[in-house]
Amino acid sequence: MSKADAEPLSDFIRDKVAEDVATGKYDGRVVTRFPPEPNGYLHIGHAKAICLDFGIAEETGGVCHLRFDDTNPEKEDVEYVDSIMEDVRWLGFDWGEHLYYASDYFEKMYECAIKLISDGKAYVCELSVDAFKEYRGVPTRPGKLTPGRDRSVEENLDLFGRMRAGEFEDGRYVLRARIDMDSPNLHMRDPALYRIKHAPHHRTGDTWCLYPTYDFAHGLEDSIERVTHSLCTLEFEVHRPLYDWLLEACEVYRPAQTEFARLNLTYTVMSKRKLLELVEGHYVSGWDDPRMPTLCGLRRRGYTADSIRRFCRGVGITKVESLTDISLLEHHIKDELNRTARRVMAVLDPIKLVIENYPEDQVEELEAINNPEDESAGTRAVPFSRELWIERADFREEANRKFHRLTPGREVRLRYAYFVTCTGVVKDDATGEIIEVHCTYDPATRGGDAPDGRRVRGTIHWVCATKGGEADVRLYDRLFSVERPDTVDEGPASATTRDSAGTSGNFKDNLNPDSLTTVRAKVEPAILAMGAGEHCQFERKGYFFSDPKDSREGAPRFNQVVPLRDSWRKRSS
């Protein structure tokens, strides 16, 4: 168990599970499941569900199943199946032998449908989706009885068999539960159980042209696996009466569904459909673009599994819908990397600094501390010479007293090196642009301290122009420029519309055009020696991660994980 899981957690779901164990409900068993639909990559919201489902199993000595809810062939793919397994493992969870696919239950589900038809609890309906909506009506008024509702059992069985045999085109018939067209809960107004879809499935191939709906399939999946606690997000609360009705009508084992609030993050969209739109429209470089809230994107950005688990613990489990500030996620990775990341020096926006009184051909090695938070990380040698790179923003030709960095006549410390005093600048004759900053150094201040006790207000970082190198660095801002980019309500409808195309809304209008800036940075030799997938802190700048995909030996490419300070607002204004 990692440190992130040191203290026991408590919330209303864990309390209920503990109570059920204590009272011997389900014979003391605890079986949860994480049931992703393999129609996209997992995102940080899924991490919340994973930490809950697998977390409860771990804490109670129970088991958690990984189940692919693959009942919707058109949008599903093995690429997603593989990525989901990789991401769950990466987060640190293990399903052992409990890997399941809803598609393995298609035959059993079909048998349950036959039972419902035989018991007069389901019927074949010829209404189109739109026509049925008319019959179903609105919650405040009773609906109308559908035309096929009184078809005989024999005729229903015959039609349903022919639906399976492939006699009808898509949409010609659906199988509906016969429940209550007057129920105030629209989900109880004869919901669809099966739809005709002539689409090959990534696991069952052409075996089926008939696929169960989410509502029919999900409870049966839980039941077949003898799940005890079926945990899902709040939008399924209104589906619970149907979940219970179907399992009772099928006369099968009944797990209990409990709902919790989903994770929503500021400046983020969190629906696979929208994330897919960003990928397909090339608004991002892929599902693992480091700006994406996907687990593979966050991983590539440099987030650790531990930081995400800590974040999920911090958010907690409640029944109250809320919007979590993305800076909370950033806090957890910053906190971790502050303890673990080695410090190095890189100049992101370079300007040359020339030390007039430093010997022309000399290069010396100065000792730099790798991590002030961790003595065991030791020190390294950093080359220093007459010409250095410093940040353009660390120099001002004119500055007031509050500016503690380089300006003519002012002395500052070069980190781990010497005190230098600015003497002036060299400008491009034609453009007037400053091309060099000049200074003199005090050889007595080697290491960064003056023997006479004199002090400087500012310390700046630098890179040796002779021995340093260059690396590509990606700087990120928020992917969206507004706190709530989701202009489309993702409320209760989302659960039932998961297999309809839906409208995209205009969340893409809220994309931040400046979310990615790539710079060619000047870097100290230790940075060039870094392999792929390593964390570091560029001193005074932020935490960075050498991209696992794009880094090459001797040529790492860096992703900014988080800036040191909350400079987001400053940069985007």
Which residue numbers are catalytic? Answer: 37, 262, 272
Find which of ligand ATP, Mg ion, none residue 143 binds, CB within 5 to 8 Å per kind: none
Query: Which distant-in-sequence residues (6+ apart) come within 8 Å of 33 by Cβ?
Result: 53, 64, 65, 66, 67, 100, 221, 222, 225, 227, 230
Of the pair 100, 358, the CB lying nearest ligand ATP is at: 100
Q: From the CB of 277, what's the least distance to ligand ATP, in Å?
A: 12
In degrees and rounded to multiples of 5, residue 162 shows phi and psi of: -70, -30
Instruction: For residues 53 and 261, give the distance between their C-alpha atoms in angstroms, rounded to a whole number.
Output: 14
Find which of Mg ion, ligand ATP, none residue 30 binds, CB within 5 to 8 Å per kind: none
Q: From the CB of 208, what's the least distance to ligand ATP, in Å?
A: 20
Find which of Mg ion, ligand ATP, none residue 324 binds, CB within 5 to 8 Å per kind: none
Instruction: For residues 339 and 272, give the distance between their C-alpha atoms in angstroms, rounded to a whole number.
Output: 34
Of the pair 273, 352, the CB lying nearest ligand ATP is at: 273
Q: From the CB of 289, what's the least distance to ligand ATP, in Å?
A: 17
Instruction: For residues 569 and 301, give the distance between their C-alpha atoms in angstroms, rounded to a whole number.
Output: 20
In a 3-state reduction of DSSP, which class is residue 365? strand
140-156 burial, b at 16+ Cβ within 10 Å, e below that, comes to: eeebeebebeebeeeeb
Interface with ligand ATP by CB under 6 A: which residues?
35-37, 45-46, 48-49, 232-233, 262-263, 270-273, 494, 498
Cα 540 to chain centroid, rounded:
27
Of the pair 237, 374, the CB lying nearest Mg ion is at: 237
In degrees and rounded to multiples of 5, residue 338 shows phi and psi of: -60, -35
Instruction: For residues 531 and 342, give the distance between their C-alpha atoms in angstroms, rounded to a whole number.
Output: 13
Q: From the CB of 498, what's the least distance to Mg ion, in Å?
A: 6
Find which of Mg ion, ligand ATP, none residue 45 binds, CB within 5 to 8 Å per kind: ligand ATP
In degrees and rounded to multiples of 5, residue 34 shows phi and psi of: -110, 115
Find which of ligand ATP, Mg ion, none residue 192 binds, CB within 5 to 8 Å per kind: none
Decide: 174 and 192 in contact? Cβ < 8 Å: yes
Q: From the CB of 244, what's the least distance to ligand ATP, in Å?
A: 17
Total residues contacting Mg ion by CB under 5 A comes to 1
Instruction: For residues 131 and 174, give the distance between their C-alpha atoms in angstroms, rounded to a whole number.
Output: 12
- What is the footprint of Mg ion within residues 492-531 (CB under 5 A)? 494
Residue closest to 455 by CA, chosen among 466, 468, 442, 467: 442
Of the pair 46, 301, the CB lying nearest ligand ATP is at: 46
Q: From the CB of 75, what's the least distance to ligand ATP, in Å?
A: 10
Find which of ligand ATP, Mg ion, none residue 262 binds, CB within 5 to 8 Å per kind: ligand ATP
Instruction: For residues 303 and 295, give the distance between their C-alpha atoms in angstroms, rounded to a whole number.
Output: 9
- What is the footprint of Mg ion within residues 470-499 (CB under 5 A)? 494
Find which of ligand ATP, Mg ion, none residue 33 binds, CB within 5 to 8 Å per kind: none
Find which of Mg ion, ligand ATP, none residue 37 binds, CB within 5 to 8 Å per kind: ligand ATP
Of the pair 76, 477, the CB lying nearest ligand ATP is at: 76
Of the pair 99, 444, the CB lying nearest ligand ATP is at: 99
Residue closest to 543 by CA, chosen among 340, 294, 383, 399: 340
Q: What is the number of the residue whose Cβ is closest to ligand ATP?
A: 45
- Within a 10 A sphere around the Cβ of 505, how many other Cβ atoms? 17
Of the pair 437, 495, the CB lying nearest ligand ATP is at: 495
- Taking 3-state DSSP, the helix, strand and coil percentages for the chain, each rounded to the nearest 5, stand at 35, 25, 40
β partners of residue 369:
379
Of the pair 36, 485, the CB lying nearest ligand ATP is at: 36
Query: Which distant-in-sequence residues (6+ apart) come within 8 Å of 25 by Cβ?
Result: 228
End-to-end, the C-alpha distance of the chain in Å comes to 43
CA angle 557, 561, 564 (to 5 degrees): 120
Beta strands in 74-201, from DSSP E residues, in sequence order: 99-101, 122-125, 174-177, 192-196
Q: From the CB of 265, what's the least distance to ligand ATP, in Å?
A: 8
- Within a 10 A sphere around the Cβ of 116, how many other Cβ atoms? 23
Q: From the CB of 270, what's the least distance to ligand ATP, in Å?
A: 5
- Residue 484 is classified by DSSP as -
Cα 223 to chain centroid, rounded:
30
Find which of ligand ATP, Mg ion, none residue 210 binds, CB within 5 to 8 Å per kind: none
Task: Give the strand pairing for 516-523 and 469-476.
Answer: antiparallel
Q: What is the number of the residue whose Cβ is closest to Mg ion?
A: 494
Q: From the CB of 494, what's the least distance to Mg ion, in Å?
A: 5
Of the pair 76, 524, the CB lying nearest Mg ion is at: 76
Interacting residues toward Mg ion by CB under 5 A: 494
